[in-house]
Amino acid sequence: MKREEVLMEALPYIQKFYGKTIVIKLGGHAMVDQNILETVIRDAVLLRYVGMKVVLVHGGGPEITAKMQAMGKEPKFVGGLRITDAETLEIAQMVLVGKINDGIVSLIANCGTCAVGISGNDGNLLIARKMEPQRVKVGEVIEEVDLGQVGEIEEVNPKVLHCLLAQDYIPVVAPIGIDRQGQSLNINADTAAAEIAIALQAFKLVSLTDVDGVMDADRTKIFHRLTLAEAERMIAEGVISGGMIPKLEGCMKAVKNGVEGAHVVNGNRPHNLLLELFTDEGVGTMLTL
């Protein structure tokens, strides 16, 4: 396709998205290569300059895992959620709030735009409660596993995001929440992004990860479009595992609650964010009602 045709294909989308809110979730697996991360940040800044209100929510699972291993701790997950003891929570806070969040804000600044990094603790953005023990099948037995300091979101207070967006800042959110007693909790970043998208009544939620989209059981075929019913069936049939569980569940909750479309896109391929939003075919998976 000629360059001018690409631009013309984008025009109706740019018009449709103008003034709308987009929540972009940057997965830890889509942030392993610094050059690609810089490209993604530039794309997000471009969206802001074509008139969208951009909110970034980031993960950092692989870095938390690496730091735990360096400290001799074995990472364990249940249904894609990290079992988080007190020490792990401290590691997660250091990595997410202290390092990754700050790094993204700097990259945005390098693109000539101002971002403000916050966590769910700021402005009571993400009020959470400790998650109930999860039922897990171990062999033939069902066991209850306590995930420790993992949070389930109870309430989202988006005022802080509205204030930042109104002043043209790009908010960058680290997925740490706080309970009503002031205790911090580790929250899955896709869950946080979905709840924020709902609270902002965002037009789009885009989760950038390391696979080309939601795939079938043998991971050979991508589903470019999924309905809620199809996604529910895939989860029930066990086609979805690990971190894709909270990702798809977050996307499902978002579209059930007013977000027009939720997308799962490979963030490791340059400009996939723009291709997903501004081309007719898209590149990843789009979940709709």
Please select the residue that binds ligand ADP; options are 187, 239, 254, 275, rule is CB under 6 A. 239
Specify the residue, 118 or 206, whose C-beta has the smaller distance to ligand ADP: 206
| Integer Rg of the chain from CA | 18
- The interaxial angle of helices 102-110 and 34-49, nearest 10 deg, is 60
β-partners of residue 285 are 264
DSSP state of 148: B
- Using the rule CB under 6 A, give the single segment among 24-32, 117-125, 138-146, 271-279 that binds ligand X2W: 24-32
Helix (H) or strand (E) holding 130: strand 126-130
- From ligand X2W, ligand ADP, none, which one binds at residue 158 (CB under 5 to 8 Å depending on kind)? none
Give the nearest distance from C-beta 151 to ligand X2W in angstroms.
7
Across the strands, what pairs with 185?
177
61 is in an annotated binding site: yes
For residues 52 and 84, the answer to whether their CB atoms sit within 8 Å is: no
* Sites for ligand X2W among residues 225-254 (CB under 6 A): 243
For the bound state, the minimum distance from the C-beta of residue 7 to ligand X2W, rounded and expressed in Å, comes to 32
Give me the residue whose beta carbon is nearest to ligand X2W: 59
What is the number of other CB atoms lying within 10 angstroms of the CB of residue 259? 25
**How many whole angstroms separate alpha carbon 58 and alpha carbon 151?**
16
Binding ligand X2W (rule: CB under 6 A), the pick from 104, 170, 189, 254 is: 189
Binding mask 46-85 for ligand ADP (x = CB under 6 A): -------------x-x------------------------
Residue partners of 214: CB distance under 8 A and separation at least 6? 222, 223, 226, 231, 234, 240, 244, 248, 264, 285, 287
What is the contact surface with ligand ADP in residues (CB under 6 A)? 27-30, 59, 61, 209-211, 214-215, 239-244, 247
